[in-house]
Structure 1
Amino acid sequence: MKRSASRKTGQPNSNASVNSAADLFRSASSKASTKEQERIDNLFYSYANGSSGMIDPEGIEALCSDLEVDHTDVRILMLAWKLKAEKQGYFTLEEWRRGLKALRVDTVNKLKKALPELEKEVRRPTNFVEFYCYAFRYCLTEEKQKSIDIESICELLNIVLGSDFRVQVDLFVDYLKTQNDYKVINLDQWMGFFRFCNEISFPDLRNYDPQLAWPLILDNFVEWIREKQSLS
């Protein structure tokens, strides 16, 4: 009996070893996470305005320069979407942390390399609808603002949809700049044009039915196109 007890005492405690390894892993992981956040924060403060504590338009301009992209590049808007930025032209530290952690980047070079993958992510159909809606809301500059002026909408359409629906965007922009009925565009009209691009055959427009729930501005747009087509 004594020998049996001795054998048990001499066996290594496997549970203790596992727990110890787990503790070491958690400690190393925690340290790595802390270091990563430090790098993310340092990167933020290298662009942030010291007075406001945010990355402002000037800081975003500097970031774009370091990323070697134009400030009107759609990928900058996609980055804002990833950060879930709330105010146009500004990134807070919390938004910056959230977005860069999601992208798993903590340096400018890593962020630059991540932009193509971010664009692929955004262009997935389910994500793009969300991004398209976000683009409109992000450009609302005042808290209670619900519409955007025609000039800004035309610029935004070119940035967000220009590469996918060039002909439709060019025609709609042309129409918006020549018509006199609308001074601003609301979210329903903005989303309606996206649906138009995806659902309506172009350029014959044979499946456009004005009796369906289309915003009136699109009925007028289609009528304008048909008049142009009949004259050509």
Structure 2
Amino acid sequence: MRRSASASKKKSGQSNVDSITSSTTDLFRSASSKATTKEMDRIDHLFNQYANKSSNLIDPEGIEELCSNLEVSHTDIRILMLAWKMKAEKQGYFTNEEWRRGLKALRADTINKLKKALPELEKEVRRQSNFADFYAYAFRYCLTEEKQKSIDIETICQLLDIVMGSTFRAQVDYFVEYLKIQNDYKVINMDQWMGFYRFCNEISFPEMTEYNPELAWPLVLDNFVEWIREKQA
């Protein structure tokens, strides 16, 4: 009987501990849930400050106002990085879902927090593990029509300068110069766009001794390299 009573007390004591633990966990979950709800409410409130009321989208005008409040140019690469973080699908527009996704990830529910988050976002994007994805995203983001597969040369030159200019200045300057004077290409497709990224990362410049046109390079890069070598001759 004593053993039974002792066992009963142990069970009762363990039950109390479990009950307290469960209550504490529930309280923590409840507090965390409330904090998350408040954060999302503030993120939604911020969205509504810039959104077009009729479309419920942040449109180009709203993005321009956002850039002004962030004290950055609308051509600043960090705005493109912000779109990447949101996984925004349409150039010049942010949906509420995209806005929530991006700002929640950045833990930014005020304009000041978002401003402070931009330098860290830039560091994140420039990590080698992320930059190739961002570079590809930049091309897709500039496709303005659903079935569009390529981008005009003028836009490509601007995009190259924004996305790659600070990292591969010489390569970008030469490639942009070539694209502007050549007559073979009116547009650039994704394969050509990614080929230039590979070129910048794999080929020493301006020597280009490793470049072999027999390998799987886009023809536009074969022509580009030939043009540079003629200039250097």
**Superposition deviation, residue 31 in structure 1:** 0.8
The answer as to 2:232 corresponding to 1:229 is yes
Displacement of 1:27 in angstroms is 1.1
In structure 1, the residue matched to 2:136 is 133
Question: 1:71 aligns to what?
Answer: 74
Describe the superposition over 1:178-214 as per-residue Cα deviations: whole angstroms up to 9, x where unpaired: 0000000000000000111111111111111111100
Residues 81-230 of structure 1 mapped to structure 2, 5 A cutoff: 81-230=84-233
SS in 2 for 1:185: strand
TM-score (norm 1): 0.94
Q: Look up the equivalent residue of 1:135 and give its one-letter code.
A: A
TM-score (norm 2): 0.94
Counterpart CA distance in 1 for 2:183 and 2:148 is 21
Count of aligned residue pairs for this structure pair: 228
Q: CA shift at 1:41, angstroms?
A: 0.2
Shift of 1:134: 0.3
CA distance in structure 2 between the aligned counterparts of 1:15 and 1:177, rounded to whole angstroms: 72
Task: Tell me the CA shift for residue 82 of structure 1.
Answer: 0.3
Question: Which of 32, 36, 59 is matched with 1:33 structurally?
Answer: 36
Q: Secondary structure at the match of 1:13?
A: helix
For 2:69, the aligned partner's letter is: D
SS of match in other structure, 1:70: coil
Residue in 1 aligned with 2:56?
Answer: 53
SS at match of 1:66: helix
* CA distance in structure 1 between the aligned counterparts of 2:77 and 2:87, rounded to whole angstroms: 15
* Cα distance in 1, alignment partners of residues 25 and 99 from structure 2: 31
**Distance change >3 Å, CA 10–CA 185, structure 1 → 2:** closer
Q: CA deviation at 1:10?
A: 8.6
Deviations 1:29-85 (CA, angstroms, capped at 9, x unpaired)? 111111000000000010000111000011111111111111101010000000000
In structure 1, give the amino acid aligned to 2:142.
C
1:32 and 1:69 map into 2 onto residues whose CA distance is 30
Equivalences for residues 8-27 of structure 1 within 5 A: 8=9, 13-27=16-30
Give the fraction of aligned pairs with identical amino acids, expressed as a percent: 75
Unaligned 5+ runs, structure 1: none
Local SS of the residue matching 2:188: strand
In structure 1, what is the Cα distance between the partners aligned to 2:215 and 2:12? 82
C-alpha RMSD of the superposition: 1.6
Per-residue CA deviation, residues 8-40 of structure 1 (Å, 9 max, x unaligned), is: 399581111111111111111111111000000
In structure 2, C-alpha distance between the alignment counterparts of 1:10 and 1:148, rounded to whole Å: 72
1:111-151 residue CA offsets vs partner (Å, 9 max, x unmatched): 11111111111111120000000000000000000000000
Range 102-111 or range 132-141, more displaced: 102-111
Which stretch of structure 1 is more off in the superposition, 7-16 or 68-77? 7-16
